[in-house]
C-alpha cells in the first residue's frame, strides 16, 4: 500500500468541491448503481500506446467513474468482486467475467488514499486526510483542528449494490494504510493501522509517533469497533540519521501479515521489521534491517513458505522519475531477503529493467505473489513503469518474465499516473491505474499455469493467505 503521489499525507490534495447527494444510516454518501457502459475489450494494443510482453494480454480497461474519479489506489477482492480504493471513496466491480468488468456501485466518501480491506461482509476504509466529521461527506478540515477526524471507516457491503456506512474509529495521525489480522475465533478482526508524518502542531498526531494502532472489530457488532492497543514498535526512535531517507522512521508505512504463520513484515520508512503476531493484540518486533540504498521502506511480501521476504523502496514518494540509468538498479528497487531462524539476510535487488522517460513517475510499488505452488513468482505495480512479472526463484538473480506498460500520461512533462497496485486473483492480473482506470490482464505462460488452479474466496494482498494446489 502506497504513499500518496505527493510526499506528505498530512496535506489534503485538493479542496472539497462536491456535496453529497444521498443520506443513510446517519451518514452522507453518494452510492450509484450499476453503470451501463461496459469496459472496453482490448487486444493488447490500444490507442493509449500500450505495450506488453508476448505472454501478457491487456483484456479490459474501465476508466475511472464519476464522481469517484480522483487518484486510484489499492485493491481488495471478495468472490466475484474487486473493490477499488480511490481518494474520493471506492468502487465495487463485478469481475465474474474478467474480460468485461462492470461497476456495481460507487461510494463517494472522501478522505485521502482510501486504502481498502475486505472481511466477509465488512469493508475497512482508511482516512488519512482530516475531515470535519466521521461520516461520508464531511467537509475537509485541517490536522491542526483538534476535532478533525482521521482513522478507519467501516462499511457493510453485504449488498454490493448499496454499501452502508456503519461506524468509524479515530486513530492518531489517521490511517494511511490498514492490514487485516483475522482473530482465531473467526468472529473477531484486528486491524493494524499504519500512519506517520507527526508534528507537534497537530493535536491528534504528536511526536514521537513510533507506534501502530490496533482496532478490534466484533464482526457481529462492527459498530462497537474500538482501539485495543497502540504498541510502540521503535522505543529507540528508529532510523532518523541515515543519509537520503525520504522520511525518518515514525511508525510504519505499511504492514503485511501472514496470519497462518503468526508473523508480519513491516515497512517503516527507515526500517524493515519482522513481528510475531501470535498474540494479535500485542505484536512483538523480532528483527530489524536497514539498507543504505533505501529511501522509504514502503511495503513487503512473504513467499508462500515464508523463507523469503521482498521489501519495496518507494524512492521519491511515488512522484519522481527513478526508473532510468542515472538512478541505477539498486535504488527505488525491491530488496530480497532470505528468512532463516528468524533472521533476515540480504540476497539481491530487483529493479525494473525497462528504462522509462523523465516524464514518467516510476518506482517499486504494490504487488502480490502469483500462486504457483513450490515456486516464487511476483507481479508488481511500478506506477508509469507499468506492471512487471518477476521470477525470483533465485533471490540473488531475479528476472522480469512479462510486463504491461503504457506510454507517459504526458510526453512533455511529468504528470502523475501509472499502476498503483497490481495483483493476481483467480487467473487474472488486476491493476488499479492512478489516472487511466481499472485494467485487467491475462498472462499465458507455462511457468505460471499452476496458479490457475488456485482459487481464493477473498484476497487482501496485505493479509497473505497460504495457498496450496487446488485451493
- E strand spans, 232-270: 254-258, 263-268
The yes-or-no verdict on residue 24 having pLDDT over 60 is: no
In the block, cell 487518484 appears at 71
218 near 166, Cβ under 8 Å? no
- d(CA 72, CA 85) in angstroms, rounded, equals 6
pLDDT of residue 49: 84
Q: So what's the pLDDT on residue 31?
A: 55
Q: Of 27-36, 359-368, 395-404, where does mean pLDDT reach its minimum? A: 27-36
Average of pLDDT values for 154-176?
A: 98
With 50 as the cut, is the pLDDT of residue 19 above it?
no
Task: Specify the higher pLDDT residue, 134 or 35.
Answer: 134
Q: How far apart are CA 394 and CA 190, in angstroms?
A: 35
- In the block, cell 482513522 appears at 151
Q: What domains are there in the chain, each with its CATH number?
A: 42-76+177-459 (2.40.128.630)
Residue 61 binned pLDDT confidence (cut-offs 50, 70, 90)? very high
All cell numbers assigned to 94: 463485478
- So what's the pLDDT on residue 470? 59
Give the chain's mean pLDDT: 91
- Least reliable range by pLDDT among 42-51, 106-115, 180-189: 42-51
Helix (H, G, I), strand (E, B) or coil at 52: strand
Q: How far apart are CA 388 and CA 370, in angstroms?
A: 12
What share of the chain has pLDDT > 70, as a percent?
89
Rounded distance between C-alpha atoms, residue 387 and residue 455, angstroms: 22
41 forms beta bridges with 60
Give 264-308 pLDDT, tens digit per residue: 999 999 999 999 999 999 999 999 999 999 999 999 999 999 999
pLDDT higher than 60, residue 4: no
For residues 151 and 142, give the distance between their C-alpha atoms in angstroms, rounded to a whole number.
14
Cell representation of residue 33: 448503481
pLDDT of 222 higher than 60 = yes
pLDDT at 468: 82
Contact present, 166 and 158 (Cβ < 8 Å)? no
**pLDDT over 70 (residue 62):** yes
Amino acid at each position: 500500500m502506497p504513499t500518496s503521489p505527493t510526499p506528505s499525507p498530512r496535506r489534503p490534495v485538493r479542496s472539497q468541491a462536491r456535496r453529497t447527494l444521498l443520506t443513510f444510516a446517519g451518514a452522507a454518501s453518494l452510492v450509484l448503481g450499476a453503470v451501463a457502459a461496459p469496459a472496453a475489450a482490448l487486444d493488447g494494443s490500444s490507442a493509449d500506446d500500450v505495450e506488453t510482453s508476448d505472454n501478457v494480454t491487456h483484456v479490459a480497461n474501465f476508466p475511472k467513474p464519476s464522481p469517484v474519479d480522483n487518484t486510484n489506489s489499492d485493491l481488495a477482492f471478495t468472490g466475484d468482486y474487486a473493490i477499488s480504493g480511490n481518494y474520493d471513496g471506492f468502487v465495487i466491480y463485478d469481475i465474474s467475467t474478467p474480460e468485461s468488468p462492470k461497476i456495481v456501485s460507487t461510494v463517494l466518501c472522501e478522505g485521502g488514499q482510501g486504502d481498502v480491506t475486505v472481511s466477509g461482509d465488512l469493508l475497512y476504509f482508511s482516512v488519512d486526510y482530516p475531515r470535519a466529521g466521521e461520516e461520508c461527506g464531511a467537509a475537509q478540515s485541517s490536522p491542526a483542528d483538534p476535532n478533525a477526524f482521521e482513522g478507519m471507516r467501516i462499511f457493510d457491503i453485504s449488498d454490493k449494490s448499496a454499501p452502508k456506512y456503519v461506524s468509524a474509529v479515530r486513530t492518531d495521525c489517521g490511517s494511511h494504510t490498514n492490514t487485516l489480522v483475522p482473530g482465531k475465533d473467526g468472529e473477531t478482526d484486528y486491524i493494524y493501522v499504519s500512519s506517520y508524518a507527526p508534528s507537534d502542531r497537530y493535536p491528534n498526531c504528536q511526536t514521537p509517533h513510533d507506534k501502530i494502532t490496533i482496532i478490534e472489530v466484533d464482526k457481529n457488532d462492527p459498530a462497537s469497533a474500538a482501539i485495543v492497543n497502540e504498541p510502540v514498535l521503535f522505543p529507540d526512535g528508529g532510523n532518523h540519521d541515515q543519509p537520503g531517507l525520504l522520511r525518518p522512521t515514525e511508525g510504519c508505512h505499511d504492514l503485511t501479515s501472514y496470519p497462518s504463520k503468526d508473523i508480519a513484515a513491516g515497512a517503516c520508512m527507515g526500517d524493515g521489521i519482522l513481528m510475531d503476531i501470535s498474540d494479535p493484540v500485542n505484536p512483538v518486533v523480532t528483527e530489524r534491517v536497514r539498507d543504505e540504498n533505501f529511501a522509504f521502506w514502503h511495503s513487503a511480501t512473504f513467499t508462500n513458505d515464508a523463507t523469503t521476504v521482498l521489501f519495496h523502496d518507494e524512492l521519491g514518494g511515488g512522484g519522481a522519475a527513478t526508473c532510468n540509468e542515472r538512478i541505477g538498479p539498486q535504488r527505488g528497487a525491491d530488496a530480497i531477503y532470505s528468512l532463516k531462524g528468524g533472521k533476515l539476510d540480504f540476497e539481491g535487488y530487483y529493479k525494473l529493467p525497462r528504462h522509462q522517460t523523465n516524464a514518467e513517475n516510476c518506482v517499486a510499488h504494490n504487488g502480490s505473489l502469483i500462486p504457483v505452488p513450490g515456486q516464487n513468482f511476483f507481479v508488481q505495480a511500478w506506477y508509469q513503469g507499468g506492471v512487471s512479472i518477476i521470477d525470483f526463484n533465485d533471490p540473488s538473480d531475479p528476472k522480469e518474465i512479462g510486463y504491461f506498460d503504457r506510454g507517459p500520461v504526458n510526453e512533455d512533462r511529468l504528470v502523475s499516473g501509472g499502476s498503483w497496485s497490481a495483483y493476481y486473483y483467480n487467473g487474472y492480473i488486476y491493476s488499479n491505474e492512478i489516472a487511466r482506470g481499472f485494467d485487467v490482464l491475462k498472462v499465458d505462460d507455462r511457468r505460471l499455469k499452476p496458479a490457475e488452479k488456485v482459487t481464493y474466496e477473498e484476497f487482501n494482498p496485505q493479509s497473505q493467505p497460504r495457498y496450496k494446489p487446488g485451493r
